Structure 1
Amino acid sequence: MTIEKGSHPPDQRTPAEGKFPANFLWGVATSAYQIEGATQEDGRGPSIWDTYSRIPGKVLGGESGDVACDHYHRWASDLDLVAGLNLNAYRFSVAWPRIMPEGTGRVNAAGLDFYERLVDGALERGLQPHVTLYHWDLPQALQDRGGWPHPDMPEWFTDYALAVYGRLGNRVASYATFNEPWCTAELGYHVGRHAPGVQDLRASLLASYQIQLAHGSVIRALRAENTRAELGTVLNLYPVDAASGRAEDLHAAQLIDEKLNRWYLDPIFRGRFPAGAVADYAEAMPEIDLQALASAQQPLDFLGVNYYFRQWVSEGGASRAGPPSPDAERTAMGWEVYPEGLHRLLTDLHREYQAPKYLITENGAAFDDQWNNGEVHDEARTRYLQGHLQQLHRAIQDGVPVGGYFAWSLMDNYEWAYGYSKRFGIVHVDYGTQQRTLKDSAKWYRDFVRRQRP
């Protein structure tokens, strides 16, 4: 991405509500462990998050996804919610432990049955199913064998992906190999704030390398099946701003850009890791097979972009979610609300990498929502959606081929190490009763999409 310095004033050129392309996808996104529950039903094996959430002090309140939103039992009414919002697409992930409880070998038919019901139910409601194959819930059995740093992971992941495709096939509109692999490798194996909780930079770098090989392997395997579904991957990406024009700050920002963004973009589009980051990792960098890494560069039908905030970087590599300004609007996560970053990110991406199509696969915000007599007035989230959709429309006007937008998330859910304390949904969930309530943001999104129809 282009490294810039200083703050950027809001751009006022975009009309309040532009018209999107007629074939644009409008959807919401979820992930398996965050909503499904039923962690010990119908033959599902344990995942690394089942294990991690039971380690004292790792998850706020010691909470787990054992029940979550009980989507495993309530999927039909949840799909009714999606369809009732005038949407035409639904993005969800498949739980590897539900398909292969031991990670490899035996395939659990009951797990595939669930996702087949989900896909067929979406299609019956006029919703395109968009599947993510991996959203952080690795089978614990594979972590016991070494997890993502293990050299056999690409083969294991490919076997799992083929099992999913063998049942769901071309009824699915798109398959994404990974969701936010940076989080898997960095938060899971280096920082240790996500499952499996490892704190080892070298292990993290090995995990990122094996993830790249696994991505390329699955794309090749699905292409060999002559799939009609679109194939891609989903990355969390950020505009990067240096705190000043000082050379030290600009250099630090460049390194953050390479480690956050280009570390995952360059292999899939250029077949290599960025040189600056490789050099900076120095002796922690494992030996890698450059020829094997080149296999990560496979033709893609789309790149999924998850956008939440920009990175603000100062000397020494310290980064934060936006500038340290007391006036900046922030979410309950402490993330700066910066809609203009979506336009910056997309135009930079397309100039440098030229993906054939982009999907905004996640965009949303947590706020401290209050349920009151059957209503949730979340004005801040409504403004968030409005601002980001304005900037998305502007990017399309500027020539970026964006094919769809998936708000994160359909409903409040398990927010990983934060437990149930952060609410990202446009639908409120009472976790005690599992009652769903449309927030004002959901009503606004529903009406906005209706106005977009021909």
Structure 2
Amino acid sequence: FNDEKTYYQVNHHVFLAHAKAVLAFKEIMPEGKIGASFAYSPSYAIDSRPENGMAKLDHDNLKSFWWMDVYAYGRYPRTALRYLEKQGVAPTITEEDSKTLHAAAQKVDFMGVNYYQTATVEYNPLDGVTPFGEMNTTGKKGTGQVTGVPGVYKNPSNPYLETTDWDWVIDPSGLRFACKEITSRYDLPIIISENGLGAFDKKTADNKIHDDYRIAYLAAHLKELIKASDEGCEILGYCTWSFTDLLSWLNGYQKRYGFIYVDRDEEGGTLDRYKKDSYYWYKEVIETNGASLSVE
């Protein structure tokens, strides 16, 4: 799919659907709480060169803030919209559309965040990489391609951070970064609607799944979330992804996220379920309301 004009118009219609849902919900249940959920990857400039700082700003306005500004303010980032207008791909926005988006933004109660990784941003020359590079959907580390917008930005790897087998950056501090950014920019409470680690989990002969890597991942992220709360972010809730292993629209059954192992792969399986080590660990975290975590 490379029709950018259609992409942004469809995206605009999604925003309108969100806005109308918010307005309808508040009409039915004025005291109820409602908000959007967005896959947010806060970004770092790769270094302090001005062109890379500008690339980060443009990246954020065309990506993360393009969504969250509409949810929280009811309008698109002005410079990003101007860029799309110059490219001839900006969505058609009616006056009635703008009124609907703005009205809904006044009634949003929180920002939902699906957090998995941060992004690194560098200036991308006009003859540079495009948005259509291949994602790593095989789990073979290092096979994902750098993507970006020619003349604006690209997303190289971060040399300071490890990645999953699917080349997703592992950055617990990025969750804290995301919460502080949202708090400062939008002054909204936050629900972490997704956070988790996809991995090649293996079941032993005695039906055990020793996923200490998942425990380490979640513990590190929860500790950063506690720090964000201590620093003034209002965290309403935290939801892991996910309770059980499930089918991925990109990776099938090979990329597992759950606390419960499901005996199923692309070839079949019994669908029997087995509790992973992370299940027992997270059970204790819940029972102690996080007191079992050691936060430095």
Question: Fold-level match, TM-score > 0.5?
Answer: yes
Corresponding residue SS for 2:262: strand
Give the aligned partner of residue 363 of structure 1.
195
Task: Say whether residues 1:424 and 2:257 are aligned partners.
Answer: yes
Selected match of 2:170 from 337, 347, 350 = 337
Bigger relative CO (Cα 8 Å, ≥ 6 apart): 1
Give, in whole Å, the separation in 2 of the partners of 1:232 and 1:207: 20
1:277 offset after TM fit, Å? 1.4
Q: How does 1:162-181 map to 2 (within 5 A)?
A: none
Residue in structure 2 matched with residue 240 of structure 1 by the alignment: 43
The equivalent residue for 1:31 is: none
Question: Helix, strand or coil for the counterpart of 2:63?
Answer: helix
Residue identity in the other structure for 1:234: S
Indicate whether 1:288 and 2:288 are aligned: no
Q: Could you tell me whether the CA contact under 8 Å between 1:413 and 1:425 is conserved in 2?
A: yes
CA distance in 1, matches of 2:58, 2:243: 34
Deviations 1:413-451, CA, capped at 9 Å, x for gaps? 111122222111121111111111111112111111112
Runs of 4+ residues over 4 Å off in structure 1: none
Superposed displacement of residue 453, structure 1 = 8.1
How far the C-alpha of 1:369 sits from its partner, in A, is 1.0
Q: Please state how far the C-alpha of 1:324 moved relative to its aligned partner.
A: 3.6
- Report the 3-state secondary structure (helix = DSSP H, G, I; strand = E; otherwise coil) of the residue aligned with 1:360: strand
Task: State the distance in 2 between where 1:371 and 1:313 align.
Answer: 38
Corresponding position of 1:304: 112
The one-letter code matched in structure 1 to 2:183 is: H
SS in structure 2 opposite 1:230?
coil
Counterpart for residue 378 of structure 1: 211
Residues of 1 paired with 2:109 and 2:72: CA distance?
A: 12
Deviations 1:62-92 (A, max 9, x none): xxxxxxxxxxxxxxxxxxxxxxxxxxxxxxx
Structure 1 Cα separation of the partners of residues 14 and 286 of structure 2: 36
1:258 Cα deviation from its structure 2 partner: 1.0
**Which of 76, 83, 86 in structure 2 is aligned with 1:273?**
76
User: Could you tell me how far apart the structure 2 residues matched to 1:412 and 1:247 are?
Assistant: 44
TM-superposition CA deviations, 1:88-114 (whole Å, max 9, x none): xxxxxxxxxxxxxxxxxxxxxxxxxxx
Deviations 1:35-55 (A, max 9, x none): xxxxxxxxxxxxxxxxxxxxx
Report the secondary structure of 2:171's partner residue: coil
Contact 1:267 1:294 in 2 (8 A): no
Mapping of residues 53-452 of structure 1, within 5 Å: 198-226=1-29, 228-281=31-84, 282=86, 283-297=88-102, 298=104, 299-316=107-124, 317-320=153-156, 323-325=158-160, 328-355=161-188, 357-372=189-204, 373-431=206-264, 432-452=269-289
Residue 234 of structure 1 aligns to a residue whose secondary structure is: strand
Distance 1:419 1:288 in 2: 37
1:333-375 residue CA offsets vs partner (Å, 9 max, x unmatched): 21121100111110111011011x2111000011121111211
CA shift, 1:279, in A, is 2.3
**In structure 1, how many angstroms separate the alpha carbons of the residues matched to 2:193 and 2:227?**
18
- 1:203 and 1:335, CA in 2 relative to 1: closer, same or farther beyond 3 A? same
What SS does the corresponding residue of 1:441 show, helix, strand or coil? helix
SS at match of 1:428: strand
Cα shift at 1:227:
5.3
Contact 2:75 2:98 in 1 (8 A): yes
- Residues 370-426 of structure 1, C-alpha deviation per residue, up to 9 Å, x if partnerless? 111211111111000100000000111111110111000111111112222211112
Instruction: Give the equivalent residue in structure 2 for 1:36.
Output: none
Q: Deviations over 1:6-47 (max 9, x none)?
A: xxxxxxxxxxxxxxxxxxxxxxxxxxxxxxxxxxxxxxxxxx
CA distance in 1, matches of 2:91, 2:180: 33
Give the letter for the 2:190 counterpart: Y
Partner residue of 1:16?
Answer: none
Percent identity for Structure 1 against Structure 2: 28
2 CA distance for matches of 1:293 and 1:324?
Answer: 41
Which SS does the other structure have where 1:393 is aligned?
Answer: helix
TM-score by length of 1: 0.54
Shift of the 416–398 alpha-carbon distance from structure 1 to 2, 3 Å rule, reads: same
Which stretches in structure 2 are left out of the alignment for 5+ residues? 125-152, 292-296
Cα distance in 2, alignment partners of residues 272 and 230 from structure 1 = 21
Matched residues in 1 for 2:99 and 2:54: separation? Answer: 27
> What do residues 149-208 of structure 1 show as CA deviations (whole Å, max 9, x unaligned)?
xxxxxxxxxxxxxxxxxxxxxxxxxxxxxxxxxxxxxxxxxxxxxxxxx43111110011
SS at match of 1:238: coil
The alignment's TM-score, normalised by the length of structure 2, stands at 0.81
User: Using the alignment, how far apart are the partners of 2:172 and 2:239 within structure 1?
Assistant: 15
- State how far apart, in whole Å, the 1-side matches of 2:198 and 2:178 are: 21
Q: Helix, strand or coil: the match of 2:92?
A: coil
Please report how far the alpha carbon of residue 229 of structure 1 lies from its aligned counterpart in structure 2 after TM superposition: 3.5
